[in-house]
Amino acid sequence: MLPRCHRHVLAALVLACSLAATANATDLSGCWSGSWKSCSSGHAGVLRAEFTRCDDTHYRVDFSGRFFKILPFRYSVTLHVVEETEDGVTLAGSSYLGKLFGTFCYKATADDCHFRADYTSKKDRGVFTMTRQSH
């Protein structure tokens, strides 16, 4: 067992390392834009998103876009940080979009500039591809 003074130093080092890791974490907060594409139907369109960091492991993402180029859509999803590396983050989440569309499940990867999410639902599967907008 470590002497008491060494335990305090060790605890301080562990705390400092964890704070440093949190400080260097990728923060996806802000506005993003790009496109979505259904691999099932071939439909595609413009996509925008606003990422809001809830805490170290959750983002609320407000998506908006157009379906058939004229029908607007807007919905929100909470994405959970599944893994974080030096290269970026892996996220996952799901959202229920009503009886007509059902539940959509997302698995995404992102870094400071790029976001890609693969989505699946009972009737569809596809991809979102976006880049961060300049401040």
**What CATH number is given to the structural domain containing 53?**
2.40.128.120
- pLDDT digits 0-9 by tens, 58-111: 999 999 998 887 889 899 999 999 999 998 999 999 999 888 888 999 999 999
Domain that holds residue 119: 30-132
Kindly state whether residue 1 falls inside one of the protein's structural domains: no
What is the number of structural domains in the chain?
1
**Which range has the top average pLDDT, 23-32, 65-74, 124-133?**
124-133
Could you tell me if residue 125 is inside a domain? yes
In this structure, which long-range contacts are made by residues 25-29, counting pairs with CB atoms below 8 Å and at least 24 apart in sequence?
25/56, 25/84, 25/89, 26/84, 26/88, 26/89, 26/110, 26/111, 26/112, 27/53, 28/53, 28/59, 28/89, 28/110, 28/115, 28/132, 29/53, 29/59
Any domain includes 84: yes
In a domain, 4, yes or no: no
What's the pTM value of the predicted model, to 2 decimals? 0.77
Quick one: which of 57, 106, 113, 61 has its CA closest to 87? 113
Tell how strand 58-67 and strand 71-85 pair up.
antiparallel
Identify whether 3 is part of a domain: no
Q: How many whole angstroms separate alpha carbon 80 and alpha carbon 64? A: 20
Tell me, what's the pLDDT at 135? 58
